[in-house]
Structure 1
Amino acid sequence: MKRNPELTVRPLAGLPMFATGMSIAQAICVGLEAEGDRFRDGDILVVAQKIVSKVEGRARDLHTFTASEEAHELSRATGREPEMMQAILEESSQILRRTPAAVIAAHRTGHVLANAGIDASNVEGGDAGRVLLWPLDPDASARALRHEVQVLSEVRIGVVIADSMGRAWRIGTLGTAIGCAGLAVLEDRRGRAQDLYGRTLQATVIGIADSVAAMAALAMGEGAEGTPVALVRGCERWVTEEDGPGAASGLRPIEQDMFR
C-alpha cells in the first residue's frame, strides 16, 4: 500500500506589521533565517490575503465611496451603511444574496463569498471605517511572491494566498486558496486511481490548494495571533516547476453551478 506523506505546518512568528510597498518575500526570508531555518525545495508558503492587500495598497476608507442608488437599495434591505454596499458592488460582478448578516457576492475574480471579501478585522483604523479589499489579481500576486522568494532562496516552492470563506450548507469559515502559483490546484483522480477493492474512481477531484490553505489557516489563526504566514512541508509531489493556472482554475464553471 502506498504510504501517505507526512505533512507539517509551521506558522512563522516575529514578522513585521506589513504596510504599503514592503516586501513580504524579504521579511519571510529574514524571519526564517532568524529562526535558524531556510526554504527547502518543495516547501509551500501560505500567506494571508490581508498582508498581500496591505502591501499592495488595497486599504480604503469607506467615506471615499460614493453610494449609488443600487447601494442605497442594498442598504435599506440589509440595514448596513450605503458606502459599504457601494464598496461591495464595485468589487463584485453579481450580488447573489443579501441579508443583514452578509451580502453574498460573486467577486470580480469569480470567487463567491460574503461581502466580496471586504473586511475591517486586523486593519488599523477599522473602527473608523477603514477596510481592506482583495488584491486586484490574487493569482498574479502569488506568482510575483513566488518569483521573489525563489530568487532569494534559490529553491523551488509553491505559494498560496489564503482567505477565510464560508461554505454552502456549512457553519464556519475555512481557509481557502484565492491565489496560487507553483502548486497543483486540483488533482483529478477520475479514471486514474482505484479504491481498496480495485474499483476505478469516477468522481474524485481533490482540491489540493484549498486543502493546503485550510490546514495553514488553522496554524496561523484568525485573530490577534499575528502570524499571517505559514510554511507547509510534505506536499512536494504537488509543487510544480511552472506557476500553473492559478486558484481561478479551481472555480466551478457557471454552467455547472447547481446553487445559483
Structure 2
Amino acid sequence: MRLEILPVPGIGDVTEGDDLATLIATAAPWLRDGDVLVVTSKIVSKAEGRLVDVPADGPQRLAARDEVMAAETARVVASRGATRIVQTHHGFVMASAGIDASNVDKTRLVLLPTDPDASARALRAALRERYDLDVAVIISDTMGRPWRNGLTDVALGVAGMSAIRDHRGEIDPYGNELHLTEMAVVDELAGAGELIKGKCDQVPVAVVRGYLGATRGDDGAGAAVLVRDASMDLFSLGTAEAKAVGLREAAVLPDGPGAVAADPAAVARGIAAVADVVTPGTVFTHVTDDEVRAGLVGRIVGWPDQASGLVLGVVPTPVGPADLVRFGADVQRLRTALAAEGVPSALLPPPEGSTASACLAL
C-alpha cells in the first residue's frame, strides 16, 4: 500500500450557507474516485451556522462561554479549575464540549456540527450527484487523550467507508487468533490529514489517496460506532469525580446481602481497611466456621434466608449514648469498605444472648 496525503488549499474563509461541495470541488479539481476527504469540522460548523455570538472579552465572555458549554454538555466527566472535560450530546468526551474560539471572529464561538455523520453523508452525496465523484468523507476534530500529552485529530463523522477495521477472528503470522483487535482507521486517517492541514495555515481539507481501493456502496454506520457507552467505559469519570460518586453511593447503601456468597478475602480486606479508624477497642469479626455461624444465626432476629456470611461487631464497654453513635458510624464505615470490595450487607440486631453489639448479614 502506498499512501499520499494531499492538501486542498484555496478554500478560503467559510461562512454560513456556503456550499462545501462546490468549494472543495473547485479547489481540488484533481479529486478522483476512492479518495478520502478529511474535512475539518470547523468549516462544516460554519457552513451549517453552528456559531454563537459572545462578548469579545471580559467576564461577560467567560460567563457566556460557560452557558454555551452547559447547553452542549450531556454530563461532566472531570473538571480542574477552569478546565472541563465533558461528554457532548453526540457522546464525544472532550474538553469544553468541542467549543472553539480559534480561526473565527473574536465575538463568535464555533460549536460542533449537530450530527457529524449526517454532515459527512450530505457532503459525500453532493460530490457524487453534482461532480460524479465517489469519495469517502471524514469530518475531523482535535481531541486530547487520557495519559498522553498533545492533541490529535479524530473522526467525528464518516460516510463511504467503515469507521473500524475489525481483525477479530483473523490469524496472525504466529498462528494466534485475534480476539480484541478493532482498529479505528478513520481516526488514523483523520490524524494523517492533520499532518498537512495544520492549525494556522488555512488548509481545512486534506485528501488521503491510496488507502481505499473503492468506497462502500452505502454510507456505512458512521463514526457513531466509535463512541463507547459510559457503562462499558472503565474510565468514564475523572479521579475526583469517581471519588465523589463513591461517597454519594456510600451515603445511600442499600440494606441486603449479596446474591452469591461473599469472598472471605474480600471481607478480610474490608475489615482491615477500617481497623485503624474505628473507635479503639471496637472489633469486627468475620465468622467463617460454619457450625459457629449456624448457631449464631439461629439467634438473630430477621436473618435473611439468602445471606451466607456473618460479621459481628463488638464495642468496648461501658457503653454510653455517644459511644453507640460512634459505633453506628464505625459500622457504616465497614459497610462502605465491604461495598467497595463488592460485598453487600444488611445491618441486623446482634444474636440474642451474645456479647456482640451488632451484626452484618453478607
Tell me how far apart the structure 1 counterparts of residues 214 and 222 of structure 2 sit (CA, whole Å): 13
Instruction: Tell me which structure has the larger Cα radius of gyration.
Output: 2
- Map of 1:66-215 to 2, 5 A cutoff? 81-100=62-81, 102-124=83-105, 126=106, 129-191=107-169, 193-215=170-192
**Does the CA contact (< 8 Å) of 1:184 and 1:238 recur in 2?**
no
**Which letter does structure 2 place at the counterpart of 1:51?**
I
Q: Give 2:27's aligned residue.
A: 31
Tell me how far apart the structure 1 counterparts of residues 93 and 134 of structure 2 sit (CA, whole Å): 31
**Which letter does structure 1 place at the counterpart of 2:80?**
T
**Which letter does structure 2 place at the counterpart of 1:120?**
A
The secondary structure found in structure 1 opposite 2:28 is: helix
* Alpha-carbon distance, 1:198 to partner: 1.8
2:49 to 51, 57, 60: 57
**Does the CA contact (< 8 Å) of 1:6 and 1:234 recur in 2?**
yes
**Does the CA contact (< 8 Å) of 1:62 and 1:87 recur in 2?**
no
Tell me how far apart the structure 2 counterparts of residues 155 and 149 of structure 1 sit (CA, whole Å): 6
Tell me how far apart the structure 2 counterparts of residues 169 and 233 of structure 1 sit (CA, whole Å): 32
Q: CA RMSD in A?
A: 1.6
**Which letter does structure 2 place at the counterpart of 1:58?**
R
Structure 2 stretches of 5 or more lacking a match?
237-362
Tell me how far apart the structure 1 counterparts of residues 164 and 147 of structure 2 sit (CA, whole Å): 22
**Which letter does structure 2 place at the counterpart of 1:90?**
A
Tell me how far apart the structure 2 counterparts of residues 258 and 238 of structure 1 sit (CA, whole Å): 36
Q: Give 1:250's aligned residue.
A: 226
**Does the CA contact (< 8 Å) of 2:99 and 2:111 recur in 1?**
yes
The secondary structure found in structure 2 opposite 1:258 is: coil
The secondary structure found in structure 1 opposite 2:143 is: strand
Tell me how far apart the structure 2 counterparts of residues 81 and 12 of structure 1 sit (CA, whole Å): 35
* Alpha-carbon distance, 1:253 to partner: 2.1
Moved more, 42-51 or 92-101: 92-101
* Structure 2 length-normalised TM: 0.62
**Which letter does structure 2 place at the counterpart of 1:209?**
V
Q: Give 2:2's aligned residue.
A: 6
Q: Give 1:69's aligned residue.
A: none
* Alpha-carbon distance, 1:101 to partner: 5.0
Tell me how far apart the structure 1 counterparts of residues 210 and 222 of structure 2 sit (CA, whole Å): 21
Tell me how far apart the structure 2 counterparts of residues 99 and 11 of structure 1 sit (CA, whole Å): 37
Identity fraction in percent: 38
In the alignment, does 2:11 pair up with 1:19? no
**Which letter does structure 2 place at the counterpart of 1:201?**
L
**Does the CA contact (< 8 Å) of 2:11 and 2:23 recur in 1?**
yes
Give the aligned length. Answer: 232
* Alpha-carbon distance, 1:81 to partner: 2.2
1:165-214 CA distance string (max 9 Å, x none): 001111111110001111110011111x2222121112110101111101
Q: Give 1:66's aligned residue.
A: none
Q: Give 1:45's aligned residue.
A: 37
* Alpha-carbon distance, 1:237 to partner: 4.2
The secondary structure found in structure 1 opposite 2:37 is: strand
**Does the CA contact (< 8 Å) of 1:88 and 1:115 recur in 2?**
yes
Tell me how far apart the structure 1 counterparts of residues 214 and 112 of structure 2 sit (CA, whole Å): 26
**Which letter does structure 2 place at the counterpart of 1:252?**
R
**Which letter does structure 1 place at the counterpart of 2:97?**
A
* Alpha-carbon distance, 1:100 to partner: 3.0
The secondary structure found in structure 1 opposite 2:151 is: strand
**Does the CA contact (< 8 Å) of 2:33 and 2:214 recur in 1?**
no
The secondary structure found in structure 2 opposite 1:236 is: coil
Tell me how far apart the structure 2 counterparts of residues 10 and 122 of structure 1 sit (CA, whole Å): 22
**Does the CA contact (< 8 Å) of 2:12 and 2:202 recur in 1?**
no
* Alpha-carbon distance, 1:254 to partner: 2.0
**Does the CA contact (< 8 Å) of 1:190 and 1:201 recur in 2?**
yes
**Which letter does structure 1 place at the counterpart of 2:222?**
G
